[in-house]
Structure formats: structure tokens, C-alpha cells
Amino acid sequence: MSNSVSNSVSDSMGSSVGKEPVAVVGIGQTKHVAARRDVSIAGLVREAAQRALVDAELTWADIDAVVIGKAPDFFEGVMMPELYLADALGAVGKPMLRVHTAGSVGGSTALVAANLVAGRVHGTVLTLAFEKQSESNAMWGLSLPIPFQQPLLAGAGGFFAPHVRAYMRRTGAPDTVGSLVAYKDRRNALKNPYAHLHEEDITLEKVQASPMLWDPIRYSETCPSSDGACAMILTGRAGAARSPRPPAWMHGGAMRSEPTLFAGKDFVSPQAGKDCAADVYRQAGITDPRREIDAAEIYVPFSWYEPMWLENLGFAAEGEGWKLTESGVTELDGDLPVNMSGGVLSTNPIGASGMIRFAEAALQVRGQAGAHQVEGARRALGHAYGGGAQFFAMWLVGAEPPAT
Amino acid sequence: MASAPSSGVLRAPLVVEFPFTRSLGPVQSAFLTGLRERVVLGVKARDGRTLVPPVEYDPVTAEEIRDLVEVAATGTVTTWAWNHEPRRGQPLATPFAWVLVKLDGADTGLLHALDAPGPDAVRTGMRVRVRWAAERVGAITDIACFEPYEGERGARQGAPHSGEFAEPVTGIVAPARLDYTYSPGRAQTAYINALSAQKTVGERCPSCRKVYVPPRGACPTCGVATAERVEVGPRGTVTTYCIVNIKAKNLDIEVPYVYAHIALDGADLALHARIAGIPYDEVRMGLRVEPVWTEGGRFPDHYRPTGEPDADYDTYKELI
């Protein structure tokens, strides 16, 4: 079934013959907050892009193409925002592409940009994703009243909570695991100056005592609503050689999709997610992700998705993901740190959230993650998903150039 | 609101509207606040041109540009199009011309409306001036429209301006509205019509034999059309659920309540509905339920326990 419902981009990225190695040489983020009332959308994306240029010590003239992504246009009500953002992103006279894949868009946007470099279409590409949630209402954008249809009965978390319960039933995970993830990610966020939530006085007891909104999901186990942007500059071998700071090298990247609803869909561990991870690992020569990958930034909008995705991504056997979380393996000082940045649970500018995962993975292997740096991280996974578990995008980056 | 034309496929109007907000940033803030004060501002680009309305970043060099200048409220039409039938929300209620106006002192055209008696009264190159709105709030509509004007060119052609005003406008509300005619299509029309007889009818895929409820007219896995109608339910099994403890704005349901995935007997994927008729904390996976209809309801109001023994996990674990 997976073959019939999945789309693949691996043909263009999986074969190493003639492919340009892709390096991340610049990363920029805004300080993510609930509302950036001081800037326009143009000002917001500009800030992230400018920081990426500064990091790479490049100028607008060095950029050959711009690839931009954001969540659905209904979220801010600007149809095709890329039209008006071209000036802010220095795209005059250059190709500019927009990518749409719902919540995974930050990841797939980066992969489209990477493909342009790998295929030697462009030498140096600026890729950027953003969301200004304060100017809109994402929940409204996702639940437009459709004639003849029953109104949505449960709100944002109500879509996810039944899948969490199904995971708990399937694996026997104790109901304490979700709070452990939230407590970890919120503490990690304290070490990340760009993270939205900085809850200095967070305790496990506070997480556990937070209101149960959509049982089994508590308030503190949900993601915030953020304004923010994230940008990366991708280039090839020659560009990497000129990079003033260590580049992150792409070792594998893939996207997969499947319908949001179909008979046999496994919301707990979607086939498209498994296939996507397998493709990335194959490209990167990874046979044992748990041992060979040093850190992972995984799209976890509700805390229980950490153990769920650990299984889906092959870091744990089916039914065993929660044990990694419970035993501290995914802590910042654990054996497989997950969401060192604080993750989506601490920062969620929806369209940018996937790219932040990709960028944070790159920061780790560049040794540039600051207080949330994993000592000696050589290989890291960035993961994004969205659209009712419809779209998956992942990349694996390393401190060394790819072998071929 | 529903109607059924001769094809029998349901159709209904769908209006999507939302009051989006916009943070303006420094340049748009100065521009819109200026309009409130009857001042039209442009920005100097690096190539010396004056751009009106002003932008934050140079369209050629990508540099941040902040050198604001004041331009005149008079100008020249550079091109136009007649609008025979103004629609809701447009600047004028009577027929008018959409115009690009190069204000005196500006090098680019500002899009707005021109109040003119008819298309014969409009030409490229004609002189116009701003007609200010009586009440101005810091919005593009502070320019009510343009009007023909044969008088002197306005002053203030390119004088530097700080862009600073008392009580600047920093954000606006930008209401958006889209009017659609929505049709759920053949398959869902049949499903909805069957519901009015309190029956749930899905469609079976001719290839994988899975029964889709609600039917979409095609199997998303096999990519083939579905046509064979299959009645399912009315009973079903709760495959998973959550307990909703926060009240949704638009829903008249007391919390807590249970929102469940229910696999109707004979269906190959679950639909979503509310469970009642049982204390919320006694709902469980595997619970057997049946629909409860209310007078005139298009859908079951909720599902309630049937009293049957719970379904075995293995019978529904693929239907979550």
C-alpha cells in the first residue's frame, strides 16, 4: 500500500552520481514570541534572512534563488505572500519559489532548496519559512464551516488526543510520559535564546497539575502560538569552502505523503513517516539510527508525539518509544537528545516550525547551538510533519561532507 | 439554504470571512498615519526614484530604505480601467475608474478609484487630485477616491519627511471575505440524503473492497471511482476518544463531553461523533454504541451505549 500512496523525491536526491553535496552555511531565526507587533510580515522574514546572511558572511548579491514556505494562506489571509515578500528577500531578478505542505512546509521548503543546489540548478539558495500567528487565527483557518457537514466537535487538541490514547492502548505506556516530554522540552527552551516559551519556574509538578484540556492531553503538553521566521543559506562544495564557520552537510533528505484519511491509515505510526525515514537513512548509510544519530529535532506539537515519532522514525521498536523518554534517553544530556531547542512545544510559528527543526539539527552538527549544544554531535535528524499526518519531510545532516 | 438543482447534487452558499490584523512596521505605519493627517508619503529608492506607496526594502538592491518624502495630493493618471458594476467593499458605490495615479513628486503609480461620470470622461494623462475622506483613521480608505482636477500642482513634491506623527497607527484590521457556492458532490449528496432517512450509506471501492463513510466518490488509496452503495451501522464501536474539557466558542455542548472515533458496523474507517448517555469517565475503547437522532437533525445528535458487551480490541484496532 505504501508504494501506491506515497510520493517520492528520492530519485533526485538518493543517487549520488553527479550530485552536488549540499551544505548549510548560514542560519538565522527571529526571537519567537506570541506577537511581533513591531514588524510587518516583510520585516519579520527580513530579520531571519539578514541573520542567516550575517552568519554566512554573504550579501544579497551572493544569493542565486529564494525558496519560501509558509502554512496555508488562510492563516494570515494574505494570498500568495511571496509576491509582496520578494523585495524583503532580495529576490529581484532571481527565481523565487513557494512551497505548500501544511505544517511540514518548513521541512519541505528546505528540501526543495537543497534539491536546487544538489542538482546544480543554483549555486547558493536562501530558504525561509515563517508564520505570524498573531495576525490570524489558525484554528479558524483549519475549521471553516462547510455546508452540510457537522461542525468540528473538539478543537485543536481534539484532533490529536484520540491518537494519543490509541498509542497508549497499543503500547501500554504509562500516562505519566506526556508530562515528562513537556517538562524536558520547556527546560531545554530555557537554554535557547530564540525559543518562545521561557518558563523559568517550570517544574514537573506544574506540568502534571496543568488543566486536562483534551484528556489525555494537558495544557502544558500543547504547543504555543508564535510569530517567527527561520532562514537558511544552502550552497555547494565551493560555497562551503568559503564558509567562515563550519558548515552542516546534508547526508540525506526525503519527503513522503499519504491521504489524511483512508481505510487502514495508522495515525499512531503513519506509513509515509516510516517510508520517509527509511529513505533518508538509506541515503545517509544509516542502518541503526538509535546508535548512529547523535541528536534529533522532531516535530512534536503535543508531548506524546515524542514517543510516537521515536517509533515511527526507527529510534525504538514498536511499543518501546515511551521507554526512551521515561528513562531519560531523550534528555539534553541523554544518549539520544530530542528537541534540544525546546521543540515545537516551546515555539510554534506553524509554517516555520519544520524549518526550525531542520536548522536546529544543522546548528548541532556545526557546533553552533550554544547552551543547548549536544557535545560532539556529528549527525542529527531534522523532522517535520503536517496536514493531519499527511506530509512528512526529513533530512539528516552531518559535520563531515557526505562520503561520496 | 440548501437547494437541489435538476442534477440532484446539493449546493449551498459558503461565505468565508475573517478580520485579519496587520502589524504595519515603520514604513507602512508612517504612510497610513500620514493619510490620516492628509499627508502622502513616499520613500526614496537607492536609484533616486520616489516610490508611492512606500516600501520597506529597495526593489532593486534589497537594501532597507527609510528616507521618507512627502509628495503632492495631485497627480496624473498613467493608466485606467472602467468598473461598470462596483462590488461590495469597493471604494465607490457608483461606476468608477480604477486608476494608477503618479502623484506629483512620485515616480510610481498609486492604485485607487477615480470618481468620473463615465469612461468617456477618463483618459491617460488626465490630471487628478485626492478627495480626502471626511473621517480619517489611518487607512488607504482615508483617500476616499481621486477626482478630476485642472488646478495647480500641489506643493510638497519630494520634501523630506521624518514620518513621525503623534499617535501613530501601528496596526490595521484587514477583513477578508470570500463567497463560494459549495457542492459536496455526487457521493456526499447521496450520503447526506440517506442521513435524512436516518440511514448511513457509504461506498465500496471496487478494487480494495473497503467501505468509505462518508464516501468521497473515489478511493484515496486505489485512485479509482466508487459507486457501489453500502448501508452501514447503525451500531458501531468506539475505537478511540478524548474527553473534551474546554468549551468551544461556537458549540452549545456542556463540558466535559466525549469526542470519539466510531467504526460503524460494516465501515472500514471511523467517523467522529460525541458520546452521551453514559458518564464521560465510563466511556472506553471498544464500547458498543448506536446513534441518537433529534427532530430535524441532519446528523445523529450523539451516540449512546447499546448495552452489548464491549468489542474485542483485535476487531477494531485497524479502524482507529
pLDDT tens track for B38-72: 999 999 999 999 999 999 999 999 999 999 999 99
Q: Which residue has the higher pLDDT, A64 or B7?
A: A64
Q: Which residues in chain A touch residue B60, judged by CB atoms under 8 angstroms apart?
A: 92
Domain A2-135+223-398: state its class.
alpha beta
What are the grid coordinates assigned to A282, written together? Answer: 538509506
Nearest-neighbour CA in chain B from A336: distance (Å): 30
What pLDDT, on a 0 to 100 scale, did the predictor assign at position A60?
A: 96
Tell me whether residues B56 and A40 touch, CB distance under 8 A.
Answer: yes
What pLDDT, on a 0 to 100 scale, did the predictor assign at position A1?
A: 36
Tell me whether residues B212 and A147 touch, CB distance under 8 A.
Answer: no
DSSP-derived 3-state class of residue A307: helix
Tell me whether residues B182 and A135 touch, CB distance under 8 A.
Answer: no
B135 CB contacts (<8 Å, ≥6 apart)? Answer: none
Residue with cell 469517565: B281
Given a cut of 60, is residue A190 above it in pLDDT? yes
Domain B234-320: state its class.
mainly beta
pLDDT in tens, A280-333: 999 999 999 999 999 999 999 999 999 999 999 999 999 999 999 999 999 999
**B187–A contact, CB cutoff 8 A:** no
Given a cut of 70, is residue B288 above it in pLDDT? yes
Q: Which residue in A5, A7, A40, A134 has the most chain B C-beta atoms within 10 A of its own C-beta, making it the best mutation to test that interface?
A: A40
**B59–A contact, CB cutoff 8 A:** yes
Q: Is the ipTM of this complex over 0.95?
A: no
What pLDDT, on a 0 to 100 scale, did the predictor assign at position A141?
A: 79
| Residues pairing with B241 in the sheet | B260
pTM (two decimals): 0.94
Residue A383 and residue A297: Cα distance in Å, rounded? Answer: 6
Tell me whether residues A5 and B240 touch, CB distance under 8 A.
Answer: no
Q: Which residues in chain B touch residue A148, judged by CB atoms under 8 angstroms apart?
A: 2, 10, 12, 184, 188, 192, 298
Domain boundaries, chain B: 24-177, 234-320
What are the grid coordinates assigned to B41, written together? Answer: 508619503
pLDDT in tens, A61-84: 999 999 999 988 888 888 888 999
> First vs last Cα of chain A: how many Å apart?
32
Q: Which residue has the higher pLDDT, A142 or A342?
A: A342
CB-closest option in B13, B23, B268 to A36: B23
Contact pairs from chain A to chain B, CB under 8 Å: 187
What are the grid coordinates assigned to B4, written together? Answer: 437541489
Sign of the torsion angle spanned by Cα atoms B242, B244, B248, B253: positive
Q: What is the mean pLDDT of residues B189-214?
A: 95
Burial class (CB in 10 A: 0-12, 13-18, 19+), B235: middle
Tell me whether residues B57 and A87 touch, CB distance under 8 A.
Answer: yes
pLDDT in tens, A243-286: 999 999 999 999 999 999 999 999 999 999 999 999 999 999 99
Tell me whether residues B210 and A267 touch, CB distance under 8 A.
Answer: no
Q: Which residues in chain B touch residue A214, judged by CB atoms under 8 angstroms apart?
A: 242-246, 259
Report whether B203 contacts B209 (CB < 8 A): no
What are the grid coordinates assigned to B191, written together? Answer: 450520503
Sign of the torsion angle spanned by Cα atoms A102, A104, A110, A115: negative
What pLDDT, on a 0 to 100 scale, did the predictor assign at position B298?
A: 87
What pLDDT, on a 0 to 100 scale, did the predictor assign at position A17?
A: 58
Q: Which residue of B has its CA nearest to A267?
A: B320
Given a cut of 70, is residue B1 above it in pLDDT? no
What pLDDT, on a 0 to 100 scale, did the predictor assign at position A149?
A: 86
**B95–A contact, CB cutoff 8 A:** no
Residue with cell 550552497: A235
Sorting pLDDT into bands at 50, 70 and 90, what band is A161? very high
Tell me whether residues B239 and A170 touch, CB distance under 8 A.
Answer: no
Q: Which residue of A has its CA nearest to B302?
A: A153
What are the grid coordinates assigned to B297, written together? Answer: 437533525
What pLDDT, on a 0 to 100 scale, did the predictor assign at position A13?
A: 47
What are the grid coordinates assigned to A79, written together? Answer: 494570498
DSSP symbols for A48-68: HHHHHHHHHT--GGG--EEEE
Q: Which residue of A has its CA nearest to B208?
A: A263
Tell me whether residues B10 and A148 touch, CB distance under 8 A.
Answer: yes
Q: What is the mean pLDDT of residues B112-125?
A: 98
DSSP-derived 3-state class of residue B113: strand
Q: Which residue has the higher pLDDT, A55 or B156?
A: A55
What pLDDT, on a 0 to 100 scale, did the predictor assign at position A146?
A: 87
What pLDDT, on a 0 to 100 scale, did the predictor assign at position B297?
A: 86
Tell me whether residues A265 and B269 touch, CB distance under 8 A.
Answer: yes
Residue B72 and residue A50: Cα distance in Å, rounded? Answer: 34
What pLDDT, on a 0 to 100 scale, did the predictor assign at position A115?
A: 98
What pLDDT, on a 0 to 100 scale, did the predictor assign at position B63?
A: 95
Tell me whether residues A40 and B25 touch, CB distance under 8 A.
Answer: yes
Residue A75 and residue B23: Cα distance in Å, rounded? Answer: 15
pLDDT in tens, B26-40: 999 999 999 999 999
B47 CB contacts (<8 Å, ≥6 apart)? Answer: B60
**B12–A contact, CB cutoff 8 A:** yes
Given a cut of 70, is residue A12 above it in pLDDT? no
Q: Which residue in B3, B32, B57 has the most chain A C-beta atoms within 10 A of its own C-beta, making it the best mutation to test that interface?
A: B57
pLDDT in tens, A28-46: 999 999 999 999 999 999 9
CB-closest option in A38, A77, A150 to B18: A77
Sorting pLDDT into bands at 50, 70 and 90, what band is A11? very low
What percentage of residues in chain A have a pLDDT greater than 90?
Answer: 84
**B28–A contact, CB cutoff 8 A:** yes
